[in-house]
């Protein structure tokens, strides 16, 4: 019994639609996506929908139970085939390793769930294409979690590009650099790109860089690339010799449909680079640059807006109400962190589901995920043949 004066708040007091969410995977991304769902109601004054945590899935019952309990999930599944049939789950969020993206995502789509899947879409373009086609066939909303599209500074850049503020785009260069494999003596199990699914650096972080290229500059029509394994032999934790078959770094030359050219590079053997996704874009009327390690800022140089004696890059704090993706619970200059890219990404997807809005162009659909996958395959093909590859020959309608 509550003391006199207590006024109960009930579900009827909430104008927002409620959406049941199930997350498969309780590792890094399972936690990051759960954090995003939990923060949406107080990040946004008017949340697009209120997520209701339904269940968390994993293979190890005691581990998934421990995480789910702390985050407030009322239940768990240790079998995703059962999880995708839960009628209370309307949004299925696949946070498993790359080799588990296709199976559960397709099954969830076939059950009529809206599906959010972590990047890269899949291990192969063929698999990614099937995911896209099944999702389309099921008529559900689908999004591939290229979360860097949801960094406010990146969205401001996109807005300026939509407004043609930079004129004709000439050149774009993007790099995604990390350092997990920098020491040849690091054991295989401790290197994310070479252990587990072992999908390599291009799929792991190069996929983000390629998505940035497409998001900011547009369709990539041809590519030539190189992939490199610098430490083909490493040791396991118990001292056994192990062969590393995945790439540790890669580079590509890009040609865009609108005539721009670019470079893409990703590496996990770059000492000192914790998580540097950086790009620069040059056009006939100006330039812009961005660095994820300084994610609240966009650097802009516009040819016709400043005096010649102070002409150069201006550092913009992208934290004000006039900027994109401002949730307004943080006043201007109160910087947000990396996790906000996921909060905004999940809020966008819930908005699309609850209010029947399109995921594209600001979210990456499964088609975008598939196209990036095809481009990554083209980089491999270019490496094998030494030829520049027309990427459209890789895309199936």
Ligand X SMILES: NC(=O)c1ccc[n+]([C@@H]2O[C@H](COP(=O)([O-])OP(=O)(O)OC[C@H]3O[C@@H](n4cnc5c(N)ncnc54)[C@H](O)[C@@H]3O)[C@@H](O)[C@H]2O)c1
Q: Exactly one of 100, 246, 266, 270 binds ligand X (CB under 6 A); which one?
A: 100
Q: Following CA atoms 68, 73, 75, 79 in sequence, which dihedral angle do they give, to the nearest 10 degrees?
A: -60
Secondary structure of residue 295 in the 3-state scheme: coil
Q: Shortest approach of ligand X to residue 135 CB, angstroms?
A: 17
Q: How many amino acids of this chain bind ligand X (CB under 6 A)?
A: 21
- Are 137 and 161 contacting, i.e. CB atoms less than 8 angstroms apart? no
Q: Which is nearer to ligand X, 98 or 127 (CB)?
A: 98
Q: Inter-axis angle of helices 207-216 and 366-385, to 10 degrees?
A: 110
Q: What is the largest CA-CA distance in the chain?
A: 78
Q: Exactly one of 27, 41, 75, 380 binds ligand X (CB under 6 A); which one?
A: 27
Does 177 interact with ligand X (rule: CB under 6 A)?
no
Which is it for strands 114-118 and 50-57: parallel, antiparallel or unpaired? Answer: unpaired
Torsions phi, psi of 106, nearest 5? -65, -45
Q: Exactly one of 22, 25, 48, 152 binds ligand X (CB under 6 A); which one?
A: 25
Which residues within the stretch 45-64 sit at the binding site for ligand X (CB under 6 A)? 57-59
Q: Shortest approach of ligand X to residue 176 CB, angstroms?
A: 11
For residue 382 the two structure tokens come to 């270019």
Does 26 interact with ligand X (rule: CB under 6 A)?
yes
Which is it for strands 18-24 and 50-57: parallel, antiparallel or unpaired? Answer: parallel
Task: List beta partners, residue 234.
Answer: 242
Which residues within the stretch 28-47 sit at the binding site for ligand X (CB under 6 A)? 28-30
Q: Shortest approach of ligand X to residue 378 CB, angstroms?
A: 20
Q: Which residues of 176-191 are buried (b: 16+ CB within 10 A; e: fewer)?
A: bbbbbbbeeebbbeeb
Q: Which is nearer to ligand X, 303 or 339 (CB)?
A: 339
Q: Which is nearer to ligand X, 107 or 300 (CB)?
A: 107
Residue of minimal Cβ distance to ligand X: 27
Binding mask 69-98 vs ligand X (x if CB under 6 A, - otherwise)?
-----------x--------------xxxx
Among 23-31, 125-133, 250-258, 311-319, the segment contacting ligand X (CB under 6 A): 23-31
Residue 292's alpha-carbon distances to 68, 83, 103, 208, 331, in angstroms, are: 30, 35, 32, 12, 21
Among 20-28, 224-232, 252-260, 287-295, the segment contacting ligand X (CB under 6 A): 20-28
Among 27-35, 150-158, 279-287, 303-311, the segment contacting ligand X (CB under 6 A): 27-35
Which residues within the stretch 184-243 sit at the binding site for ligand X (CB under 6 A)? 204
Residue 151's alpha-carbon distances to 148, 188, 254, 297, 316, in angstroms, are: 5, 32, 23, 10, 14
Residue 10's alpha-carbon distances to 7, 71, 249, in angstroms, are: 10, 21, 53
Does 150 interact with ligand X (rule: CB under 6 A)?
no
CA separation for the pair 173, 355 (Å, rounded):
36
Binding mask 255-294 vs ligand X (x if CB under 6 A, - otherwise)?
----------------------------------------
Q: Exactly one of 39, 119, 142, 155 binds ligand X (CB under 6 A); which one?
A: 119
Tokens 């874009």 — which residue? 281
Residues lying near ligand X in the complex (CB under 6 A): 24-30, 57-59, 80, 95-98, 100, 118-119, 145, 147, 204
């Amino acid at each position: 019994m509550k003391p006199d004066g207590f006024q109960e708040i009930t579900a009827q007091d909430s104008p927002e639609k409620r959406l049941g969410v199930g997350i498969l995977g309780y590792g890094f991304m399972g936690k990051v996506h759960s954090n995003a769902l939990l923060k949406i109601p107080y990040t946004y004054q008017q949340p697009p929908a209120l997520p209701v945590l339904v269940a968390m899935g994993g293979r190890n019952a005691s581990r998934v139970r421990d995480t789910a309990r702390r985050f407030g999930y009322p239940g768990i599944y240790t079998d995703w085939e059962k999880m995708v049939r839960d009628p209370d789950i309307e949004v299925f969020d696949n946070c498993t390793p790359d080799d588990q993206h296709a199976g559960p995502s397709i099954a969830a789509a076939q059950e009529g769930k809206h599906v959010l899947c972590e990047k890269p879409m899949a291990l192969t373009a063929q698999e990614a294409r099937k995911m896209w086609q099944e999702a389309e066939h099921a008529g559900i909303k689908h999004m591939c979690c290229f979360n860097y599209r949801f960094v406010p500074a990146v969205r401001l850049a996109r807005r300026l590009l939509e407004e043609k503020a930079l004129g004709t785009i000439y050149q774009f260069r993007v790099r995604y650099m990390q350092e997990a494999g920098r020491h040849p003596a690091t054991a295989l199990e401790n290197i994310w790109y070479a252990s587990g699914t072992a999908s390599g650096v291009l799929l792991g972080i190069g996929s983000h860089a390629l998505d940035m290229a497409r998001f900011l500059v547009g369709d990539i029509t041809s590519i030539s690339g190189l992939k490199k394994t610098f430490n083909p032999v490493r040791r396991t934790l118990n001292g056994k010799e192990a062969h590393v078959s995945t790439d540790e770094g890669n580079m590509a030359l890009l040609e865009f449909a609108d005539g721009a050219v670019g470079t893409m590079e990703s590496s996990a053997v770059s000492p000192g680079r914790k998580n540097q996704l950086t790009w620069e874009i040059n056009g006939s009327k100006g330039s812009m640059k961005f660095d994820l390690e300084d994610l609240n800022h966009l650097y802009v140089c516009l040819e016709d807006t400043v005096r010649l004696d102070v002409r150069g890059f201006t550092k913009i704090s992208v934290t004000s109400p006039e900027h994109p993706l401002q949730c307004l619970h943080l006043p201007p200059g109160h910087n947000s962190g990396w996790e906000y890219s996921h909060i905004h990404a999940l809020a966008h997807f819930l908005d699309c589901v609850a209010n029947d809005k399109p995921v594209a162009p600001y979210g990456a659909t499964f088609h975008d995920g598939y196209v990036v996958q095809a481009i990554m395959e083209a980089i491999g093909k270019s490496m094998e043949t030494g030829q520049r590859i027309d990427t459209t020959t890789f895309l199936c309608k």
